[in-house]
Amino acid sequence: MLRVENLSKRYGDLRALEHVSFQTPQNSIAGVIGPNGAGKTTLLLGLAGLLPIDSGSIRWGDTILSANTRRHITFYVEDAIRPHALLSVESVLRFYASVFKRKKALFNGIIERLALRDSLRSRVSILSKGTAKRFLIAIGLLSTQPVLMLDEPFDGLDLKQTLQVIPLLREISAAGRTLVLSIHQLRDAERICDRFVLLNNGRLAGSGTLVELQTIAGGAQGSGLEEIFLALT
């Protein structure tokens, strides 16, 4: 289980995160939800050990993770980046497959499920937004850390592509990985996540399953994530 306890981060007078706590069981998909500037990316960067945190702790099971040891547990895929931009898609993905010692069958399966076969010879720098997003997801799926964190995994995907990616991510979670997804669109979050972390202005507005959040928000059973978020923020 991933446990986050009282995580705080400030930039001068700006409060990016303040005493954020939540837990995510293994084999679950947690959605980090909030408007722009809510602290979603700051939270993921802190969990990955890529950003110093002012206070708080991050645990995997009963073990407290230092910034240096988090990379062994978490793998973070940032939004809207083009890693190794001058290389081909195939070269980059084969590099990651080699680093993580992934078998050929799994590599080919990821390529097919993410519809990247026709883009393998393309340079990363010239990919369309949707293809670049699927390329980034492929890198994440080739990693082996037990916690995979994806920043805005559906941004740039059309509805059909989103509905193709969702079952793939569910399969990855069911096979043993914990997924933490920063998601701006609440409808996409409801489609895939079984737990939610609601952030607003750097503070935790609520966390738990949809049913648990309905209780916290005091709404009627069956309320959607949008209604819950508006009620809690």
* pLDDT tens track, the chain, 233 positions: 999 999 999 999 899 999 999 999 989 999 999 888 899 999 999 999 999 999 999 999 999 999 999 999 999 999 989 999 999 999 999 999 999 999 999 999 999 999 999 999 999 999 999 999 999 999 999 999 999 999 999 999 999 999 999 999 999 999 999 999 999 888 899 999 999 999 999 999 999 999 999 988 887 566 789 889 888 88
Residue 152, classed as helix, strand or coil, is coil
The sign of the dihedral angle between the CA atoms of 58, 100, 25, 227 is positive
User: Rounded CA gap, 158 and 153, in Å?
Assistant: 12
Residue 24, classed as helix, strand or coil, is strand
Find out whether 64 and 58 touch, Cβ atoms under 8 Å: yes
Q: With CA atoms as reference, report the closest residue to 173 among 151, 193, 197.
A: 193
With a CB cutoff of 8 Å and minimum separation 6, the contacts of 211 are 221
Question: What's the pLDDT score for residue 36?
Answer: 85
Rg for the chain (alpha carbons), in Å?
18
Question: What's the pLDDT score for residue 230?
Answer: 87
CA distance between the termini of the chain: 27
DSSP count for the chain of H helices, then E strands: 9, 10
* 175: exposed, middle or buried (Cβ count in 10 Å: 0-12, 13-18, 19+): exposed
CATH number of 2-232: 3.40.50.300
Instruction: For tokens 């037990």, name the residue.
Output: 146
Question: What's the pLDDT score for residue 217?
Answer: 86
User: Of all helices (H) and strands (E), which one includes residue 204?
Assistant: strand 203-208
With a CB cutoff of 8 Å and minimum separation 6, the contacts of 63 are none
Question: What's the pLDDT score for residue 52?
Answer: 93
Assessment of whether the complete model's pTM goes beyond 0.75: yes
